[in-house]
Structure 1
Amino acid sequence: MAVPVALIQGASRGLGLAFCKHILKSRTSAAVIATCRSPDGAADLRVLAGQHAGRLTVLKLDVDREEDVREAAARVKESFGRLDLIVNSSAMLHPSGKGETSLRDVSAQGIISTLKTNTVGPLVMAKYFSPILQKGGGGFGQQPAEKSKQHSGVIVNITAKVGSIGDNGLGGWYSYRMSKAALNMATRNLSIELGRSRPKVVCVSLHPGTVNTDLSRQYHKNVPKDKLFDAEQSVSYLMSIIDTLNIEKTGKAYSWDGTELPW
């Protein structure tokens, strides 16, 4: 069987870095491609690459720049020829670092910037990388015996519970909520189109829980300790879900505990 290949978009810190560490440790034969905006400034990622020479490849990719995504896809195709998993993990809460608490805080530029990174970026990733995922060998997820239901690759978009329209009872955080709700729609659309392809690609949105990272740390004071995860713990939960994915689970959003999230 071919070596599984995973690409983690937004791998310099937080969940992305934790995904790299987890896969390198738990899948001793897997190759990992880690992308970030500025590899030269990603000290932790450079250390990890040194520890796993030959297994971890670091690529420069700014998800806000379509030309970066296109060039990275060409390099991956040339060097690896295939992919089994993509995790889109980079995100911003808002350019200011704070979620809007009311309509007074909303600005057009803030919404546009947040949507560009959180929604447009993962969709453009799918545009350029899905043909390479279709050449994968199904190295992640479960493959049913029935050949027509087997998949080649998996796209995971990291969403957030606050992006659920049905679950929204508090309001606020316009840009972030809208960007994640739109990302969920992109995931659903992708699951339909890539579920018709031969071979098929599984597409899901995953909610990591409340994670102790820079993105939302200032809002954690009221979060119960047992519901505040470090990045490694969250990724462990998410990888357990990824390992159970198949084409029948495509096009849905799942929380860290495996429960399905309402759109």
Structure 2
Amino acid sequence: MSSASPWQDWHGTGLVVGCGGIGQALLQELGRIAPGLQLVGASRQDWRLPGDPLWREVEFLPLDLTDDSSLSVLAASLENHPPLRLVINTAGLLHGPLLQPEKRLSQVNRQALELSFAVNAFAPLLLAQAIESLFSPTDPFHFASLSARVGSIGDNQLGGWYAYRAAKAAQNQMLRTLALEWARRKPKGCVSLLHPGTTATGLSAPFQAGVPPDRLFSPERAAQQLLDVLAVLEPQQTGQFWAWDGQQIAW
């Protein structure tokens, strides 16, 4: 991002939720380009290494997005911070011991569907609900959450991945609806769904084999691209679904 980026003039609190590969890279990049933001990283575990100067200016707050009481504690912890100006939710779940992307209908099960929806669909909206009162009442702000192109209904040409596709599509609908409400009540806000592209993180690790090298992004590159997209968005563009290159994605 160029030195002319508007991030250098932003002041307040910047919150990144989910501090895996992309989340950590976002915090690092924001520390470089947005010195006026007080940075907070919220996740299940503290990822910072003791004594590592890289994280000296980043505060850690514990957060379990599937636990309402944890969301309440996060909101209470942020009440003494400057108003929120930037929130980016990077938390997502594609695979794990109880969840694998389905190749056919026979592989769909209720527990996996519920788990995927809890993290990929419900959590971003409940996060917004918990921190709604903490946004700046006088300055523009961003609330963004990572979605995925596979969550686009219009772009679905391959099928499969029932739980993940459906949960991301549900997130898109929920945050689109939130954007319409906030456009009336918080007109300085911009709500965005962001597709980061295939990024070399644990989430995509089992599925990277067929990705062309020039389309497999490092977390650092993904973070820079996402912040470039957000930097040019204005409140009038709230409630849209954007790819890493700034192109709008069909719902």
TM over 0.5: yes
The alpha carbon displacement at 1:130 in A equals 1.8
The alpha carbon displacement at 1:137 in A equals 2.8
Structure-1-length-normalised TM-score: 0.87
Q: Which stretches of structure 1, 4 residues or more, deviate above 2 A after TM superposition? A: 1-4, 45-53, 94-98, 134-138
Between the two proteins, the alignment pairs up a number of residues equal to 242
Residues 217-249 of structure 1 show CA distances to partners (whole Å, capped at 9, x for unaligned) of 111111111111011101111100111111111
Q: Check whether the contact 1:95–1:110 (CA below 8 A) recurs between aligned residues.
A: no
Corresponding residue of 2:203: 215
Corresponding residue of 1:7: 15
State how far apart, in whole Å, the 2-side matches of 1:128 and 1:49 are.
Answer: 31
The alpha carbon displacement at 1:197 in A equals 1.1
The runs of 5 or more residues in structure 2 that have no matched partner are 1-8
Residues 1:107 and 2:109 are matched in the alignment: yes
Q: AA paired with 1:130?
A: E
The alpha carbon displacement at 1:199 in A equals 4.7
The alpha carbon displacement at 1:51 in A equals 3.4
Q: AA paired with 2:87?
A: I
State how far apart, in whole Å, the 2-side matches of 1:241 and 1:59 are.
Answer: 26
Q: Check whether the contact 1:49–1:58 (CA below 8 A) recurs between aligned residues.
A: no
Corresponding residue of 1:246: 234
Give the fraction of aligned pairs with identical amino acids, expressed as a percent.
29
Structure-2-length-normalised TM-score: 0.91
- 142, 148, 154: which one pairs with 1:160? 148
What SS class does the counterpart of residue 84 from structure 2 fall into? coil
Q: Check whether the contact 2:199–2:218 (CA below 8 A) recurs between aligned residues.
A: yes
State how far apart, in whole Å, the 1-side matches of 2:67 and 2:185 are.
Answer: 27
State how far apart, in whole Å, the 2-side matches of 1:50 and 1:60 are.
Answer: 20
Q: Check whether the contact 2:139–2:188 (CA below 8 A) recurs between aligned residues.
A: no
Corresponding residue of 1:37: 44
State how far apart, in whole Å, the 2-side matches of 1:86 and 1:207 are.
Answer: 16
The alpha carbon displacement at 1:46 in A equals 3.6
The alpha carbon displacement at 1:50 in A equals 4.5
Corresponding residue of 2:217: 229
State how far apart, in whole Å, the 1-side matches of 2:177 and 2:52 are.
Answer: 35
Q: Check whether the contact 2:183–2:189 (CA below 8 A) recurs between aligned residues.
A: yes
Change (3 A) 1:56 1:253: same
Corresponding residue of 1:148: none
